[in-house]
């Protein structure tokens, strides 16, 4: 290329404009609690609005109660969810019982909403097999290896398509860090290649344990990653439950109609630690960074909208919180009463047809266990 | 009954299971129109349609994700990983997920996946195409690993693998694909997933081998017979679990044993067999356990692979050493 001559392609311009379609996250209620999209809000009845608020209070109370249980040593690995109530409750409430949920470890609240019990959630955290056995069979256990749930979602969605199931989709969750995994791309791309009915959520809460979102990728948004796979995507204000719900419902409808998958990035924030197992956010983030996000608390925002409408009061909320706390304490009692697990059962579940060595080990452990 | 190559026998088995069970699905890279890079799935897409036999994007972890997700929605997946070296890209799918999923559900859900994959040296492939990687998988609880050494077993084993509700890794030996022919029944039959086979009876020494090394062991046994050394040859067929009953019965008869594998010595199916024999049958042995294996280098550059892969001469020499101990 001769000096000074015009290049055939302007990479700088491409880079500067590639995120343009993603510059305006979908929003219905702004961070001050002002309704910026009244037409959309008007689609919801008062009862529906109150129900959304109840779900967020439920999740916040669940968070607080689980942190108490963790401090008391009554839970195992548990990923705090405070701050992500709008993202989690707004999204899961857009799906139907027959939809197949593939969660990650911060998604116990969605699993419970989708058809399992709080006690099962606690059992999962405590390390008990019953925590993987749910009343609604349309869900997997929380995925621990980040990304695996994405490739499996493509498989479930393809299975749904091949079964010709009507009005049914697969939906999955991961976080901002999850979008760096190879499996993330493989999952979205496979679902796209087969035009399978999948809705992929990226709950961008700013932090993958201690690594900030900006260090995961130079891409301006995570939603735009879907473009490369030929998948429509959107960024939504993840602290605005109505916006999240609207987007999730539209995505579900689009995917269920046979149009292929959708990717949704919710902009949210993890108020607490990565997990209950010793993570300390003060090691890697500042109070200055946290403050605006704490101010954007999805409960504060929605409380204001409902209070303005005369649909919500602090007294209502206090009563609910007490009720939920009692329920969670009962659930913990139920979880703690689960039968002790046996190594002989672990061996029995390892294969459908136990191998000779496993058979022998089953007998050995059964003999020990019967003593 | 027709004479069939090893690869045709596998195709015939796959044809059978696709015809028998409408929930079976074959998928992988190039398995559709092209019938696989080795033509193992040739004509199956034409016969059963693109819904049942289909190509995937080029991503092995994605292929395993499909298999697990399809299992969760009632299908019986038969994914192909084009070469065993590429299973590294699907390690989480096979080992981290598939093998554990039945257990995770407390036995309530089945994952009846058969992962087919070609492996084995001696055909001068590019790097990462020929390695014997079975040891990574035989140390995985929840996963069965089988590999046939002949066309008859190839068809019967692939049918058993697909019909099994446990996940199975079905290893197909590249060198055997077209190098041997056998009488193979046209109709359906099965070969059990967890049983070794005495492929040659003998009284003086037991040679345990699997896959292509079974043929090397049989050649060695022929040579040994000329010197009146009667070798019994056992084909493991199943690498996980290992059929110790068949091995122990033979050791009780011959009191001497040589274990053969194409994989590096440090990589251990042979080590597991040796340890099982040592644990249960050491008093029956009249000599140390002999092992024949590839040396512990990285898989060799193709030009020299035949200097590296254990052959019938190596087996014969080790058998003489143990016999004369």
Contact state of B72 with A155 under an 8 Å Cβ cutoff: yes
The pLDDT, as a whole number, for residue A276 is 85
| Chain A residue set in contact with B, beta carbons under 8 Å | 100, 129-130, 132-133, 140-141, 145, 148, 150-160, 162-163, 170, 182-183, 186-187, 189-190, 193, 345-346, 348-353, 355-358
Q: Are B71 and B213 in the same domain? A: no
Q: Are B177 and B212 in the same domain? A: no
Look up residue B112 and give its two tokens.
């009846």
Q: Are B180 and B318 in the same domain? A: no
Contact state of A152 with B69 under an 8 Å Cβ cutoff: yes
Question: Is the CB of B76 inside 8 Å of chain A's CB atoms?
Answer: no
Contact state of A349 with B241 under an 8 Å Cβ cutoff: no
Interface size between A and B, measured as CB pairs under 8 A? 134
Please state the domain extents for chain A.
11-339, 340-371
ipTM of the prediction: 0.96
Tens-level pLDDT at each residue, chain A (371 residues): 556 678 999 999 999 999 999 989 999 999 999 999 999 999 999 999 999 999 999 999 999 999 999 999 999 999 999 999 999 999 999 999 999 999 999 999 999 999 999 999 999 999 999 999 999 999 999 999 999 999 999 999 999 999 999 999 999 999 999 999 999 999 999 999 999 999 999 999 999 999 999 999 999 999 999 999 999 999 999 999 999 999 999 999 999 999 999 999 999 999 999 998 889 999 999 999 999 999 999 999 999 999 999 999 999 999 999 999 999 999 999 999 999 999 999 999 999 999 999 999 999 999 999 98
Q: Is A63 tagged catalytic? A: no
Q: Are B176 and B201 in the same domain? A: no
Q: Are B176 and B262 in the same domain? A: no
Q: Is the alpha carbon torsion for B104, B106, B107, B109 positive or negative? A: negative
Residue whose pair of structure tokens reads 């942190």 in the numeric block: A67
Q: Are B304 and B157 in the same domain? A: no
d(CA B172, CA A184): 30
Q: Are B67 and B97 in the same domain? A: yes
d(CA B66, CA A181): 17
Q: Could you report the per-residue pLDDT of A167-180, keeping only the tens digit for each?
A: 999 999 999 999 99
In 3D, which of B306, B319, B325 has the Cα closest to residue B123? B306
CATH number of the domain to which B117 belongs: 3.40.50.970
The pLDDT, as a whole number, for residue A5 is 75
Look up residue B48 and give its two tokens.
């059963």
Q: Are B266 and B158 in the same domain? A: no
* HSE of A174, CA atoms in CB hemisphere, 13 A: 29
Asked whether the whole model's pTM tops 0.95, one would answer yes
Tell me the residue range of the domain where B260 lies: 197-323
Instruction: Provide the CATH number for the domain formed by A11-339 in this structure.
Output: 3.40.50.970
For A239, other C-beta atoms within 10 Å of its C-beta total: 30
d(CA A81, CA A131): 18
For B209, other C-beta atoms within 10 Å of its C-beta total: 27
**DSSP codes of every residue in A185-199:** HHHHHHHHHTT--EE
CATH number of the domain to which B291 belongs: 3.40.50.920
In a domain, B190, yes or no: no
In a domain, B191, yes or no: no
d(CA B247, CA B111): 30
Residue window 174-233, chain B: list those with CB within 8 Å of chain A. 194
d(CA B99, CA B167): 7
Contacts of A100 in chain B (CB under 8 A): 72-73
Contact state of A152 with B56 under an 8 Å Cβ cutoff: no
In a domain, B192, yes or no: no
Question: Is the CB of B165 inside 8 Å of chain A's CB atoms?
Answer: yes
Tens-level pLDDT at each residue, chain B (325 residues): 889 999 999 999 999 999 999 999 999 999 999 999 999 999 999 999 999 999 999 999 999 999 999 999 999 999 999 999 999 999 999 999 999 999 999 999 999 999 999 999 999 999 989 999 999 999 999 999 999 999 999 999 999 999 999 999 999 999 999 999 999 999 999 999 999 999 999 999 999 999 999 999 999 999 999 999 999 999 999 999 999 999 999 999 999 999 999 999 997 899 999 999 999 999 999 999 999 999 999 999 999 999 999 999 999 999 999 999 9
CB B250 within 8 A of CB B206: yes
Q: Are B7 and B137 in the same domain? A: yes
Contact state of B61 with A183 under an 8 Å Cβ cutoff: yes
Q: Which one of A131, A132, A152 would you mutate to disrupt binding with B, by most B Cβ within 10 Å of its Cβ? A: A152
Q: Are B318 and B174 in the same domain? A: no
Contacts of B105 in chain A (CB under 8 A): 132-133, 141, 349
The structural domain count of chain B equals 2
CB A183 within 8 A of CB A144: no
Q: Are B136 and B270 in the same domain? A: no
Q: Is the alpha carbon torsion for A243, A94, A325, A306 positive or negative? A: positive
The pLDDT, as a whole number, for residue A277 is 80
Catalytic residue among A134, A274, A301, A303: A274
d(CA A117, CA A62): 12
Q: Are B173 and B215 in the same domain? A: no
By DSSP bridging, strand A100-102 and strand A170-175 are parallel
Q: Is A24 tagged catalytic? A: no
């Amino acid at each position: 290329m001769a000096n000074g001559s015009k290049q055939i392609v302007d990479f700088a311009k491409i880079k500067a404009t590639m995120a343009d379609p993603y510059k305006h996250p979908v929003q219905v209620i702004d961070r001050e609690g002002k309704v910026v999209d009244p037409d959309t809000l008007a689609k919801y009845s008062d009862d529906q609005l109150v129900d959304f608020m109840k779900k967020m209070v439920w999740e916040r109370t669940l968070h607080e109660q689980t942190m108490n249980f963790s401090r008391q040593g009554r839970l195992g690995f548990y990923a705090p969810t405070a701050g992500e109530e709008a993202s989690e409750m707004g999204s899961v409430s857009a799906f139907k019982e027959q939809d197949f949920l593939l969660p990650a470890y911060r998604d116990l609240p969605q699993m419970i909403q989708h058809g399992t019990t709080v006690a099962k959630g606690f059992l999962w955290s405590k390390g008990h097999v019953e925590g993987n056995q749910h009343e609604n069979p349309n869900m997997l256990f929380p995925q621990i290896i980040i990304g695996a749930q994405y490739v499996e979602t493509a498989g479930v969605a393809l299975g749904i398509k091949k079964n010709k199931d009507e009005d049914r989709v697969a939906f999955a969750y991961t976080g901002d860090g999850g979008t760096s995994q190879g499996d993330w791309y493989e999952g979205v791309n496979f679902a796209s290649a087969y035009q399978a009915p999948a809705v992929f959520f990226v709950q961008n809460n700013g932090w993958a344990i201690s690594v900030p979102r900006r260090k995961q990728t130079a891409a301006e948004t995570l939603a735009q990653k879907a473009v490369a796979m030929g998948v429509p995507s959107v960024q939504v204000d993840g602290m605005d439950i109505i916006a999240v719900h609207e987007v999730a419902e539209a995505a579900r409808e689009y995917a269920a109609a046979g149009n292929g998958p959708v990717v949704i990035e919710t902009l949210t924030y993890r108020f607490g630690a990565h997990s209950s197992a010793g993570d300390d956010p003060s090691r890697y983030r500042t109070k200055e960074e946290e403050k605006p996000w704490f101010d954007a608390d999805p409960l504060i925002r929605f409380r204001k909208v409902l209070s303005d409408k005369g649909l919500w009061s602090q007294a209502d909320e206090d009563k609910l919180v007490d009720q939920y706390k009692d329920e969670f304490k009962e659930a913990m009692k139920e979880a703690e009463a689960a039968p002790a697990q046996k190594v002989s059962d672990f061996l029995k579940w390892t294969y459908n047809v136990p191998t000779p060595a496993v058979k022998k080990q089953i007998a050995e452990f059964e003999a020990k266990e019967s003593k | 009954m027709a004479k069939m190559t090893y690869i045709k026998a596998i195709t015939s088995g796959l044809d059978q299971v696709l015809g028998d069970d409408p929930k079976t699905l074959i998928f992988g890279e190039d398995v559709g129109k092209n019938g696989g890079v080795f033509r193992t799935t040739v004509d199956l897409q034409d016969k059963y349609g693109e819904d049942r036999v289909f190509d995937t994007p080029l991503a092995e972890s994605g292929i395993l994700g499909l298999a697990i997700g399809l299992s969760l929605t009632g299908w019986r997946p038969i994914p192909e990983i084009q070469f065993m070296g590429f299973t590294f890209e699907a390690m989480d799918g096979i080992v981290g997920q598939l093998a554990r999923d039945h257990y995770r559900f407390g036995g309530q859900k089945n994952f009846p996946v058969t992962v087919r994959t070609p492996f084995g040296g001696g055909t001068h492939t590019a790097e990462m195409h020929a390695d014997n990687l079975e040891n990574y998988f035989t140390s995985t609880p929840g996963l069965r690993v089988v590999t046939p050494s002949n066309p008859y077993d190839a068809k019967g084993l692939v049918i058993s693998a697909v019909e099994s509700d446990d996940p199975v890794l079905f290893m197909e030996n590249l060198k055997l694909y077209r190098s041997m022919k056998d009488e193979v029944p046209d109709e359906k039959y099965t070969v059990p997933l967890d049983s070794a086979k005495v492929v040659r009876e003998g009284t003086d020494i037991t040679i345990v081998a699997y896959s292509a090394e079974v043929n090397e062991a049989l050649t060695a046994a022929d040579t040994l017979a000329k010197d009146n050394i009667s070798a019994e040859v056992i084909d493991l067929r199943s690498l996980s679990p290992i059929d110790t009953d068949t091995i122990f019965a033979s050791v009780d008869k011959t009191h001497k044993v040589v274990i053969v594998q194409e994989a590096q010595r440090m990589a251990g199916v042979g080590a597991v067999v040796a340890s099982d024999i040592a644990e249960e049958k050491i008093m029956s042995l009249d000599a140390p356990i002999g092992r024949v294996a590839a040396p512990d280098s990285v898989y060799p550059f193709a030009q020299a692979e035949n200097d590296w892969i254990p052959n019938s001469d190596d087996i014969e020499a080790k058998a003489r050493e143990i016999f004369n101990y």
